[in-house]
Structure 1
Amino acid sequence: MLQASSLDTAVAALREGGVIAYPTEAVWGLGCDPDDTSALTRLLRIKRRDPAKGVILVAADLDQFSPWLEGLPDERRAVLAEPQAQPTTWLVPDNGRAAELVRGEHDKVALRVSDHPLVGELCRAFGGPLVSTSANRAGEPSAMSAEEVRRVFGDELDALLDGPLGGHTRPSTIRDLATGRVLRA
């Protein structure tokens, strides 16, 4: 059964094309390198997730999203930088940087700066954003503990970075940056 991994082990797994589990603000997440097509394909297969849906990218700070934000007007960047009461994932127009499996059938990419200390530490150690999708099989409830991750995924994952959830009771709000419309409250 998958044992808890150190930060260094989790980062090494990511750099080698692995899929890892880690706690986020409200639920456990699965992640990989968003630029590694084979890792993304494997993550979607493990989750049994439709590739057309796309995935969220998570980062330690807005600067880590710079390549995905090139060409975005300053007033839109300012909105992204505003503090939010609830973790917020922003749908940002794809500037051509997002891999097809990241954006799915959409013309936008989903980006969230995480306030979870371990997620921030993981992204900084990795050197950039990660895929962040709930740790569950498609249509099933999200894992709320390392034990649930182990039970659902067994040895299908390459690392499990154990730690507490971030204290929020529901996954991030999803908002469209262009319209401000809330797609998930």
Structure 2
Amino acid sequence: MIDDYNHAAAAVSGGGVIAYPTEAVWGLGCDPWNQQAVERILEIKRRPVEKGLILVAASKQQVAPLLESLSDQQHQLLVETWPGPVTWLIPDTNKWVPDWVRGQHSSVAVRVSAHPVVQQLCQSWGKPLVSTSANRAGEPAHTTHLAVSTELGEEVDMVVAGKTGEQTSPSRICDLVTGKVLRS
């Protein structure tokens, strides 16, 4: 299994796009700082760049530049929900995340995942990954390896083995500044 994660990390490092299981659905991932890789994901999904994408990480340390300007209360909210299926919109005051990931937003959507495959992928890669559902925009997200391989297998560089977690719906999305829940 370690070879799979190392192979996936090498694919990402080379500008590739991978499909992998997350808490509830299959995701597509790549190097957030590689514009061509992100553009490939947007093309696969048929999604406009303006909407922005989620970053997924193995730990808070992998997204530390985003956390530097947060209040103690905001840090506490992250501690209470991470790792786990909560995605937070975090202000990117230093523009650490590229525009092609943030989209038209001043914040970036970030989740520290507890899913073992996501954890290992981010640890092997050593950085956060783009994480967006493995489906075309407006279509249901794929929940099985077979569905992802059949529908998107020709368009990605690797489909990582594994199963989705116990969640029945994609991660909850909350705004860290306002506390507003954008997706429950």
TM range (shorter): over 0.9
1:160 maps to 159
Equivalent of residue 29 in structure 2, options 31, 49, 58? 31
**CA RMSD across the alignment:** 1.5
Unaligned segments of structure 2, at least 5 residues: none
Query: Which amino acid in 2 is paired with 1:113?
Result: V
Amino acid at match of 2:62: Q
Structure 1 residue runs of 4+, over 3 Å off?
83-86
Amino acid at match of 2:44: I
Q: Is the aligned partner of 1:132 residue 2:131?
A: yes
Retained in 1: the 8 A contact 2:58–2:119? yes
Compute the displacement of 1:84 (Å): 6.4
Q: Is the 8 A contact 1:135 1:143 kept in 2?
A: yes
**Structure 1 residue 12: Cα displacement:** 0.5
Tell me, in whole angstroms, the C-alpha distance in 2 between the residues paired with 1:71 and 1:184.
24
Moved more, 116-125 or 76-85: 76-85
- Alignment of 1:58 with 2:34, yes or no, is no
- Write the distance in 2 (CA, Å) between the matches of 1:156 and 1:84: 31
Aligned to 1:143, what secondary structure does the other structure show?
coil
Give a deviation string over 1:21-64, Cα, whole Å, max 9, x none: 00000000000011111111111111111111000000011111
Q: How is 1:3-82 mapped onto 2 (pairs within 5 angstroms)?
A: 6-82=4-80
Tell me how far 1:150 sits from its aligned partner: 1.4
1:85–1:116 Cα change, 3 Å = closer
Asked if 2 retains the 8 angstrom alpha-carbon contact of 1:86 and 1:173, the reply is no
Secondary structure of the residue aligned to 2:87 is strand
| Contact persistence 1:91–1:174 (CA under 8 A) | yes
Identity of aligned residues (%): 52
Q: How many angstroms apart in 1 are the aligned matches of 2:151 and 2:62?
A: 31
CA distance in 1, matches of 2:55, 2:78: 14
Amino acid at match of 1:18: G
- Per-residue CA deviations over 1:77-112 (Å, capped at 9, x if unaligned) read 222111369610000111211111111111110000
